[in-house]
Amino acid sequence: DKEDDYYRQLVKANDASLPSVLDQVQGKHDNNGARGVGEAVDPLAAAYCAPESSSFKSPALLPILEAAADKLLAAQHADGTIDSGNLSSPPDTGFVVQTVCTALAVLQRKNLPQLSSVNNKLERFLLAAGEALRAVDEIDIRSIEMPAAATSKPQLTEAFRNRVATIANVHG
């Protein structure tokens, strides 16, 4: 059906993006430092966990996921924030939290022993980042701008609004 076809297209596109994602994590090009690494964790987790992916449970992805988690922890300040163009930036930290939360949820759902180290590191990163974001009064999750790509697709626009509303309700 159409949803399955769309899902397979997403998996295929994710697989096609992996060379660039691997370059990002391995530091071959710098795309906003920790923010770029945080963005890379999401497609890596998807590739590792999606049975339809050509990288499904690939042992080659484990050290890359581990390296990404290590880089995130190394980039994190004692207050839980990261630098990504802006120093000790709660907004940049929030952007990373969004993608890392999704990745961690996918990785944890698999409940695989080989992912325990990565999961523990990502969880540590998120807990510290969450404390930093909780401590900052001026951040209002409802003020996050919708990605430009989402505005051209009504279903994505609605999904984004629902996600923001859910986060806003949980975090006051």
Q: Can you tell me the distance from the alpha carbon of 105 to that of 123, in angstroms, rounded to the nearest whole number?
A: 10
Q: What is the pLDDT of residues 80-110, one digit of tens each?
A: 999 887 788 888 898 999 999 999 999 999 9
- State the maximum Cα–Cα separation within the chain, in Å, rounded to a whole number: 49
Closest CA to 107 of 38, 61, 48, 34: 48
Q: How far apart are the first and last CA of the chain?
A: 39
Q: How confident is the model at residue 37 (pLDDT cuts 50, 70, 90)?
A: very high
Q: Can you tell me the distance from the alpha carbon of 49 to that of 47, in angstroms, rounded to the nearest whole number?
A: 6
Q: Can you tell me the distance from the alpha carbon of 98 to that of 38, in angstroms, rounded to the nearest whole number?
A: 9
Q: How does the average pLDDT of the chain come out, rounded?
A: 82
Which one-letter DSSP state was computed for residue 146?
A: P
Contact 97, 130 (CB under 8 A): yes
Q: How confident is the model at residue 150 (pLDDT cuts 50, 70, 90)?
A: very low
* C-alpha separations of 132 from 51, 88, 167 in Å: 35, 10, 16
Residue in this structure with the two tokens 């990373």, named with its chain if needed: 96
Q: For residue 8, how many other CB atoms are within 10 A of its CB?
A: 12
Which of 56-60, 74-78, 161-165 has the least mean pLDDT?
Answer: 161-165
* C-alpha separations of 128 from 10, 32, 158 in Å: 31, 20, 30
Tokens of 36: 């770029």
